[in-house]
Amino acid sequence: MLDALLATPAVLRLVDLALEEDLGRGDVTTEAVIDRDATATAQLVARESLVLAGLGLCTLVFQRVDAEVVAAESAKDGDRIAAGTAVASYRGRAASLLAAERTALNFVQRLSGTATLARAFVEAAAGSRLRIADTRKTTPGFRLLEKYAVRVGGASNHRCDLGSGLLIKDNHVAVAGGVRQAVEKARGRAPHGLRIEVEVDSLAELEEALAAGADVILLDNFSPADLDRAVARTGPLPQRPLLEVSGGVTLRRIPELARAGVDIVSVGALTHSARAVDLSLDIGINGPGQ
């Protein structure tokens, strides 16, 4: 069933928009080939190893097309699924299953791809305290869903929108006149419950951030040598600010960053570069009495 966190008006609108995109003018192939009263059963099958995400959304699509479709989910979001495993079945009018097929697969393939990639990053950091986080580099309209898939994969969400966290980026720094000035202005104006995070791109800017009392310091595109210097300069927790790393982070670099002693790595690739994994729908027409 659909996760309660996804049962929002925005998600329902997105599903309806996707169905309108595919079914707005009808399904002429199905109407020409399939008898109106034919019934069928479809199995959703993983064609490769993956971490499942968006299964309830897939079911929602089928039942949005036809409320009489009966779903039986045999796995849940977050499960690691072996290739060849059926994770759900759908029974109902054959025309309804065929009409919903592509839209349902688009959602579950995309979200499972994000969850699978997130799990790979989390496993690369296993045994350390390094936290893997996403970014706002999401597909327009899909942010809630993609950030949900990141969590399903075991990683963490960074800001969900511009109102959910205070992050002073390089362009804020440029307009404010410097790292220290930006942090001090934020300290005087921001809601008291928000931590102040600032992005720095050099050791000199790191010194400004420390002097201004930033709560979190984002080390952007630091070389390995400068990253080691930054960690050594700030000292151990809990006396120092949290240290986050961003900028071109690959899966291969995660063990190195975990050893370096930073706290968070934000990875835009979790959402902007995850590929859709291979799930397919195998449909069979029911016989008499089925």
Q: Which of 76, 131, 137, 151 is catalytic?
A: 137
Q: Which of 13, 47, 129, 169 is catalytic?
A: 169
Q: Which of 146, 197, 199, 263 is catalytic?
A: 199
Q: Are 175 and 204 in contact, with CB atoms under 8 Å apart? A: no
* Beta strand extents in the chain (DSSP E only): 39-46, 50-51, 70-73, 80-81, 86-93, 131-133, 166-168, 196-200, 216-220, 242-246, 264-266, 279-285
CA–CA distances in Å: residue 256 to residues 228, 245, 266: 11, 12, 15
49/40 Cα distance (integer angstroms): 27
Q: Which two tokens stand for residue 67?
A: 């409320």
Q: Are 262 and 240 in contact, with CB atoms under 8 Å apart? A: no
Active site residue 220: yes
Q: Which of 16, 31, 47, 102 is catalytic?
A: 102
Q: Which of 79, 197, 220, 244 is catalytic?
A: 220
Active site residue 66: no
Active site residue 137: yes
Q: Where are the alpha helices (DSSP H) in 125-193?
A: 143-152, 170-176, 179-189
For residue 62, the SS3 value is helix
Closest CA to 119 of 262, 255, 248, 270: 270
Q: Which residue has the tokens 């979790």?
A: 270
Exposed/middle/buried for residue 152 (C-beta within 10 Å: 0-12, 13-18, 19+): buried
Q: Where in the sequence numbering do the catalytic residues fall? A: 102, 137, 169, 199, 220
